[in-house]
Amino acid sequence: MTEPRITDSHCHLDFPQFEGELPDLLTRATEAGVHRMVTICTKLRQAPTVRALAEANAPVFWAAGTHPMSVADEPMTTVDELVTLAAHPKMVGIGETGLDYHYTAESMAVQQESLRLHIEAARQTRLPLIIHARDADDDMARILTQEHRAGAYTCVMHCFSSGAALAQAALDLGFYLSMSGIATFPKSQEVRDIFAAAPLDRILVETDSPYLAPKPHRGKTNEPAFVNHTARVGAEVFGMDYADFAAATEANFERLFWKTVA
């Protein structure tokens, strides 16, 4: 039986865990129904490498930004730099950017500056902003809302595992929540409840591979093929048949990441 088609909306194929693995990884993804994936550049100096992966592999698209945990150690991006990168036909999103106060709270000011630059690039390009948020819910909700009032943009809250208030703030702005392997963990009922309360037409699925492998692969290197395990849990959360849930997330992905079908 052929697996329903599904997209891994966020992975990191340039990370060293996948060196030499890409042909086999893509084969396994195809066998699992994963026909498309977005590999995310987290440091702009890596953009040529990530772009080359997308150019060489039909199922792979890419996005670029400076990860909040790297902002203090990397040159500050410019809006023009991001807009120029976005001219590439397979560059489909801005980020990941965001706020992470868990390990890098000392750089919160520069993280906020970087986030606002990425938001402006998302406005100018009409590409979705890809947000990483950790232990920064209040500032994240405040900045996203302020900036949206200043000029609309689209956004996905990648690997969403924050609180219900930030989820609602994002949904109120028309943004999307992306479900990762965290949603499959036994202790993640609060996360599953947040997704269950969200509109179906705002849900994406992802691996964030090589991290956060879902059950039954927890503790192993995550990869795009495993996104269907997360999606099966998503189908349970919404009380749906897996094929129907997969189709819904496909439609959501193509609405947000419009350049993948343009």
Residues annotated within a binding site for a divalent metal cation:
10, 12, 96, 132, 158, 208
Summary count for the chain: helices (H), strands (E): 9, 8
Determine if the peptide bond prior to 214 is cis (ω within 30°).
Answer: no
Which stretches of the chain are DSSP H helices? Answer: 22-31, 47-56, 79-85, 108-125, 137-150, 164-172, 189-196, 227-237, 242-256
State the Rg of the chain over Cα. 17
CA-wise closest residue to 43 among 25, 58, 64: 64
Binding positions are: 10, 12, 96, 132, 158, 208
Q: Which helix (H) or strand (E) holds 6?
A: strand 6-11
Q: Give 36's strand partners.
A: 7
Residues 6+ away with beta carbon under 8 Å from 95: 40, 63, 64, 65, 118, 129, 130, 131, 132, 158
Residue 158 in 3-state DSSP? coil
Phi and psi, residue 144, nearest 5°: -60, -40
